[in-house]
Chains A and B, each alone.
Chain A
Amino acid sequence: MIDERYLLLMQQEIDRANSQQEQEDLKRYLAQNDEARKMFEDLQAVGTRLSRMPLVDPPDDLRSRILHSIHPVSSSLFDRTVTALKNLLPLGVTRKPVFVYGFAAFVVIAAVLVAVQLSSDNKINRSHVLGTMAQGEISGPLHADQLLEVRTEDVTGSIQIEHRQNQTIAELTLQSKGTCELTVEFDPQVLQFESFHPLNGESASIKSLSGQLSIAQTGTNTFRLYFNQDGTPRFPLTFRFYAAGNMINEQSERLP
């Protein structure tokens, strides 16, 4: 039988949290109690093995993924609006993301339309804008060299892909019943996801992972995905569509 006080001292000894007096008390106790000494040695060995566990290196692109997620978001009109709305909403009023983001999208669209009306000379820099629903063309019209059709009960639409010298652009026009999720898989050795530009629509959000984008969209949306390119992709862009967690459709481009 081991006295509970000494169980605590054993624990603290392993964690280097004992005072000098406590260390001496424990030492005396262990010298006269074989069972306690055996337990202490075992626990100490476990502690040593745990402390020897090395830190695992995160993936090389983790830092850029984090910063890419943070800074475009922080600088976008849309998210500043979301933050402002969140701060304005009194406690007790629902802060459901759908409500806040939906309302923010409405405010941003209204602001953009008013700005366009007031001055046609106003230029809006849309580079690195994430999540706005601004109308208009970005980087000119697409000269797609591939067209993929999506026809399912839950989502319909088209995917146009254009390969430029140092860039691949995919323009998706999708209409879904409720929220549809899709992933875009790409060759991370060659393609680097650059930006997401909604052209028009209701609601779309994107999450960038290594070699994969995860997109949630509701209603009708048109948006473009820009990838920078360091060579010829070895794997095609693959689009997988999900409804209620189940994959319902898969489309892959033909590599040029």
Chain B
Amino acid sequence: MKDRDDAAIVADCLAGKPRAFDVLVDRYQKLVFNIAFRILNDGEDAADVTQSVFIKTYEHLNRYDSRYKFFSWLYRIASNESLNALKARRPVESLNDDLLSDKQTPEDSFIASEDNRLVQEALLQLTPEYRIVVVLCHVNDLSYREISEILEIPEKTVKSRLFSARKQLRTNLLKLTT
């Protein structure tokens, strides 16, 4: 079951085997979570977005076009949900629950490396349009064509955004380290 391709699993779900979807959750939850986490920089928000992405995906499985890769469709939903959550985010004051817990959060393990922290900080200074392109390219390791399909923008735009984003990141990293 694990090795079956995504489109066949979707077909099983649509044929009345809802539990087949669990394999897709296992296969992609970490990658979807990482898209959301890199965009939102908050583990709990990223988990909420990931949950919402899979619910929406499941509810709209009948709209999936098997001519395209399943993950492109899934990542498109993940990108849109993450960017929408970022737009909707309001500054709130709250207790930092992490201080009360001895359990290591995703943020803790992530910031363990100083360089990763700097890169993430530089990433957060990018506009959302640039940030999502960088995340899909470097975190999810997708090609220009795949990113273009996911974000529904021309490949040329993907390249130009990536170039501008990297230049901006170079500047941001320099500022952060000096």
Please list the residues of chain A having a beta carbon within 8 angstroms of any beta carbon in chain B: 7-8, 11-12, 14-15, 17, 42-43, 45-47, 49-59, 62-63, 65-67, 69-71, 73-75, 83, 209-210
Contact = CB atoms under 8 A, between A and B. Distances in A.
B115 interface: yes
From A17, A55, A56, A210, name the one whose CB has the most chain B CB atoms within 10 angstroms. A56
B51 A65 contact: yes
B51 A62 contact: yes
Given A65-B47, A67-B22, A57 B30 contact: yes
B72 interface: no
Contacts of A73: 55
Contacts of A66: 25, 29, 50-51, 54-55
State which size class the interface on B falls in.
Answer: 35 or more
B120 interface: yes
Q: Kindly list the 10 A-B residue pairs having the minimum CB-CB distance in the complex, ordered from nearest.
A: A50-B138, A58-B33, A56-B106, A66-B54, A74-B18, A56-B110, A11-B163, A70-B58, A46-B170, A46-B166
Nearest to A82: B59
A42 B137 CA distance: 18
Given A43-B167, A47-B166, A63-B25, A53 B137 contact: no
B105 to A, nearest CB: 8
Contacts of B123: 50
Interface in B114-154: 115-116, 119-120, 123, 134, 137-139, 141, 143-144
B47 A74 contact: no
Contacts, number: 115
14 contacts: A15-B162, A17-B144, A43-B166, A47-B138, A50-B138, A51-B138, A55-B34, A56-B107, A56-B110, A62-B29, A65-B47, A66-B51, A70-B25, A210-B47
User: Which of the listed residues A42, A46, A57 has the most CB atoms from chain B within 10 Å of its own CB?
Assistant: A46
Contacts of B9: none
A53 B109 contact: no
Given A54-B110, A65-B51, A59 B43 contact: yes
B116 to A, nearest CB: 6
B3 interface: no
Contacts of B55: 66, 69-70, 73
Contact of A55 (B25, B50, B139): B139
- Name the prevailing secondary structure of the A interface residues: helix
A209 B54 CA distance: 14
A201 B167 CA distance: 57
B143 A69 contact: no
B71 to A, nearest CB: 15
B106 A59 contact: yes
Contact of A7 (B26, B43, B138, B163): B163
Interface string B21-54: 1100110011101100110000110111011001
Contacts of A74: 18, 58
B138 A53 contact: yes
B173 interface: yes
Nearest to A59: B47
A53 B139 contact: yes
A55 B109 CA distance: 10
Given A53-B119, A59-B106, A209 B48 contact: yes
Contact of B25 (A49, A56, A67): A67
A3 B55 CA distance: 47
